[in-house]
Structure 1
Amino acid sequence: MGRPLLLLLILVLSVLGVLGALGGWAFVMSGAYDVSATKPHWRPVYELLEVAMHRSVQQRGDATAVPEAALRDPQLQEIGASCFRAHCVACHGGPGVPPASFALGLQPVPRSLTDSARSLSPGELMWVTRHGIKMSGMPAWEYRLSEEQLLAVTAFVSERLPRLSVPGYRELTGQAVTACGPVEPAGSDKAQGVRARGELALRQHGCTACHAIPGVTGPDSGVGPSLDGFARRQLIAGRLTNTAVNLERWIRDPQAIDPNTAMPNLGVSERSAREMAQYLHQGRGQP
């Protein structure tokens, strides 16, 4: 291929790329695509999202090591059944148990997990449970379950659930079990820096629902004050001297300090509160 022809081909492809980008932007800005949950995605859109999701999970989940002995541990599976009943049934249902009514209005509808072991490896199941999936309604559980509980859910879903009959499921999940909540949540990879862990903790506790936080992507909310330049402030909520220790106290139980504050107690662990405070004082929250 001669040089003039190659340059012409590059020019044509560049023009087509620009026109495609402009066409996509025009389509988005037109509002033509119906985002309501009362109508499903167009089939090509649904298929594209499914393929993207599965490839993303495979890419990351294959690297997640799940001990085979733990998967077959009956006691761990029973802990997983408790967590499944407490946190998963509402959206996914179970043998003979429908999802909660709100979950039936989600789009796409959360899939049943009784056959998930056929399409997802234990490592992939563990990864999805830990990290969740964007824009699907599937939350990340790493700040809500302990490491043992994440493994237990994986063991139950991959090994026990597919073999349970309706009576077997009712018997197992109807047993008296302790509440499935962590003493210390799994949290993020401790090998990450303070900044990364603090940012993740702020996101996973939904802080951006009310606050604009530098470096943390979220809605443009004005419910609470912006946390930009937080380290420069003299006081926390107009009451406490702005120190890391006081900020941890405020994050963990704000209403114990100010009973009239609208900021709720989010059940933030001691470690997560410390990482969040460090982020705001030493990370993107300082000038």
Structure 2
Amino acid sequence: MTEPSRRFSPVKAVLVAGAAAGVLGAAGAAAFVWFGVYDVSATGPHLQPVHSLLEIALQRAVQRRADAHPPPRDLLTRERVMQGAACFRDRCVVCHGAPGVAPQAFALGMQPVPSSLVEATRHWRPQDLYWITRNGIKMSGMPAWEYRLEEGELWSVVAFLDALPLMTPDQYRALTASRSGAAPVTVGPAGAADAAPRCDGVVDAPAPLVPPLPTVELAQRAFRQHGCTACHTIPGVVGPDTSNGPRLSGLAGRDRIGGKAFPTEDGLAAWIRDPQAIDAHTAMPTLGISETQARLMARYLLTH
């Protein structure tokens, strides 16, 4: 008769089997990645299970976060639709197209292909569309616009998307033909609209996040959203393994930055904002970073 201490209980057997299955699953996933089994080329789509999983993840993630940004009460006004038309024309139509307007050729080769936004309001609430426009979507080609469109412009894009389903190609062309002087055009429930105004996209500091982020995380976000990690390795900021530009660590201990600027907040912020003005021969481009954001980034770099 087996002694109680040596019995292999059903519970223990299940735990051991579960652990073994977990190890085998992790090993299989690692091998799947390491040997390059999954085709990442944009000439073919994701497998349908992958596509469906990403769709569900997108919907659930947006719904969880978007309610922190309720739409303004005056969302659907003529002025917002007009401004949203300008922003859509200048920022969105190249990928998403519009009534009678095809996306540009590069967008048609993206995978997943950017969706038509004519029916966006059938699938997303206003706060959802605001959140997507502001924050973008990883691994889809959809960029975050919070550093390139100011708060009112973001909501104006949402207002324009509400009018888009009832807009004919002629109405779209008339509304977006020029920044001034076009004939009035009716744009659905928002009423008659004159030619779209400018969409300047001048953002000194993005609207406060909900919930707010610490200053360090705001600086890290600014580095990512201004593309700094494309060329530089920055302490504490996730990015590609690159050596296009110097590693941005220990700047406070250097004699000069870029061989020209002093390692102070004023000097580094000026370099971040307009390196071409300080050194006409530098390969670092001027990115249109605001004074507020440049100082935030400079303070971060001088303490890391």
Give the one of 43, 47, 51 matched to 1:46: 51
**Hey, what does 2:183 align to over in structure 1?**
none
Q: Does residue 111 of the first structure (1) align with residue 132 of the second (2)?
A: no
Shift of 1:3: 8.8
Within the alignment, does 1:18 sit opposite 2:23 as a pair? Answer: yes
Deviates more, 1:142-151 or 1:190-199: 190-199
The answer to whether the Cα contact below 8 Å between 1:142 and 1:185 also exists between their aligned partners in 2 is no
Pick aligned residue for 2:279 from 237, 258, 262: 258
3-state SS of the aligned residue for 1:236? coil
Q: Which residue of 2 is the match for residue 146 of structure 1?
A: 150
The Cα of 1:193 is off from its aligned counterpart by 2.3
1:123 aligns with 127
Cα distance in structure 2, aligned partners of 1:187 and 1:174: 29
2:169 to 162, 166, 169: 166
In the alignment, the residues of structure 2 paired with residue 90 and residue 229 of structure 1 have an alpha-carbon distance, to the nearest angstrom, of 41
CA-to-aligned-CA distance 1:121-177 (integer Å, 9 cap, x gap):
0000000000000000000000001111111111111x2112111111111111424
Q: After superposition, what is the alpha-carbon deviation per residue over 1:91-125, rounded to whole angstroms, capped at 9, x for unaligned? A: 00001100000000000100000100000000000
Give the match for residue 183 of structure 1.
Answer: 202
Name the TM-score, length of structure 1 as normaliser.
0.93
Give the conservation status (yes or no) of the 8 Å contact 1:145–1:185. no
- Separation (CA, whole Å) in 2 of partners of 1:246 and 1:209: 22
Q: What amino acid is the match of 1:194?
A: T
* Alpha-carbon offset, residue 18 of structure 1: 1.2
* Number of residue-to-residue matches in the alignment: 280
Extract unaligned runs of 5+ from structure 2: 1-6, 180-195
| Matched residue SS, 2:69 | coil
The alignment yields a C-alpha RMSD, in angstroms, of 1.6
Match of 1:96 in 2: 100
Give the one of 31, 36, 55 matched to 2:36. Answer: 31
Larger Rg: 2
Q: 2:225 and 2:70 mapped to 1: Cα distance? A: 23
Aligned with 2:9: secondary structure? helix
Greater Cα shift, 125-134 or 229-238: 229-238
* One-letter code aligned to 1:168: Q
3-state SS in 1 of match to 2:300: helix
Structure 1: state its 5+ residue gaps.
none
Instruction: Please show how residues 220-231 of structure 1 align to structure 2 within 5 Å.
Output: 220-231=241-252
CA contact (8 A) 2:83 2:198 kept: no
- Among candidates 183, 200, 217, match of residue 238 of structure 2: 217
Q: CA deviation at 1:192?
A: 2.5
Question: Relative to structure 1, is the Cα distance of residues 272 and 186 closer, same or farther in structure 2, using a 3 angstrom cutoff?
Answer: closer
Aligned residue number for residue 8 of structure 1: 13
